Structure 1
């Protein structure tokens, strides 16, 4: 039996004016209630900046491991979960496609807008380990595409 933990997470903006010895909040905190299973994965917003960064890293890492001359392109993050470990594990389901018009040459910053995807679309299950204090920050610990 997993223990469920309910908590409120808030994003806040802080203003610090050292010369006035002042620290305070700007605006209203953006809060949300989340349910987490302690020790397990929890569903997270697939459009969050952290998930987008992990997904982009996963696709770049998959391209580096690929023997194909064509580039794998991220179309959409279908589902996202996270697990607190020594850092954060992101378990993602990605919809990807292959672009035969863009070569897998290590070029950064390619998007579906400038590299159209052919009809060969796949779903990939990936796990990305994020440790922000380390260099490199991310590690692709597993991926399987179908």
Structure 2
């Protein structure tokens, strides 16, 4: 009887895990379909209550418009925006700005070492924790 009860519990646990994996996969597929339709990129709903970050972006998202928020810093080669900079899950965006766009460069310089939002085109996302973005606007 104990063996039957143990087997039944194990089966229910396995079925629940498989169901959760399917719902996460469906959520990620829905996200991909929405972004192809030109909608805003959002993270998969795999972990409710988790802080929002763009670690889910990958090479399939390159060329799409993304808005990210975080701490803006100056680097030796330009700018870097770090999302969730106080957390272990921090995602860094190396920002590229057209040198001729004085207004955009001034907007970034005026927000150094503070939190801001930047919109741009994703140009590289081969790493989970570091991405590259060509900036189109600063908020």
Using structure 1 for the length normalisation, give the TM-score: 0.31
Using structure 2 for the length normalisation, give the TM-score: 0.32
The structure with more radius of gyration: 2
Kindly indicate which of the two structures has a greater share of residues assigned to strand: 1
Kindly indicate which of the two structures has a greater share of residues assigned to helix: 2
